[in-house]
């Protein structure tokens, strides 16, 4: 799988932070495990400022699956469901900080982030449209996370998986 680029903050759990100065090239599960400890974004922004208007480029598409579409365990989606929906498409999976824990009114259930590598995109509207296309195909991803300035909270002890590819820096 080709490397992806993410940017991290120097903190975890700060929903008000908009500064992501640490550029990280992710070419392995180990790289992403280290980076996922910190709040992260999946695009480069002008002056490292996370904002739709400051979008410069991205080479990956991030998605969030909280399984809040149903309270029936048989309806919940897993990595296997993502693999089945996108056969042969490599992706990283990071279990979120609320994985198998209560979140608001929702019982413990699988919660995870999926990151697909893409060819670099330099237009925020195109980036958003790509995300909308994926969500329309797999509507279990968070529909509120389509903009070009989405961030994910870091996880204290991240569990990261690679699906459908080899993390060796090649395609």
98-110 pLDDT, tens digit each: 988 998 899 999 9
- The whole-model pTM stands at 0.94
pLDDT at 111: 95
pLDDT of residue 171: 43
pLDDT tens digits along 56-79: 999 999 999 999 999 999 999 999
Q: Please tell me the distance from the alpha carbon of residue 43 to that of residue 5, in angstroms, as a whole number.
A: 7
Decide: 7 and 20 in contact? Cβ < 8 Å.
Answer: yes
Q: How many CB atoms lie within 10 A of CB 124?
A: 21
Cα separation, 103 vs 115, in Å, equals 22
| 116-167: pLDDT as tens digits | 999 999 999 999 999 999 999 999 999 888 899 999 999 999 999 999 866 5
């Amino acid at each position: 799988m080709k490397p992806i680029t993410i940017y991290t903050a120097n903190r975890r759990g700060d929903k008000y932070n908009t500064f992501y100065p640490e550029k990280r090239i992710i070419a392995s599960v180990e790289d992403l495990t280290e980076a996922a400890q910190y709040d992260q974004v999946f695009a480069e922004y002008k002056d490292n400022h996370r904002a739709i208007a400051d979008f410069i480029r991205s080479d990956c598409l991030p998605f969030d699956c909280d399984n809040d579409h149903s309270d029936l365990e048989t309806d919940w989606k897993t990595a296997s469901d993502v693999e089945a929906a996108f056969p042969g498409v490599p992706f990283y999976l990071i279990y979120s900080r609320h994985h198998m824990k209560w979140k608001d009114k929702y019982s413990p259930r699988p919660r995870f982030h999926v990151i697909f590598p893409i060819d670099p995109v330099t237009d925020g509207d195109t980036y958003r449209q790509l995300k909308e296309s994926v969500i329309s195909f797999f509507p279990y991803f968070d529909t509120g996370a389509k903009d070009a300035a989405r961030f994910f909270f870091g996880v204290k002890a991240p569990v990261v998986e690679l699906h459908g590819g080899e993390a060796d820096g090649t395609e």
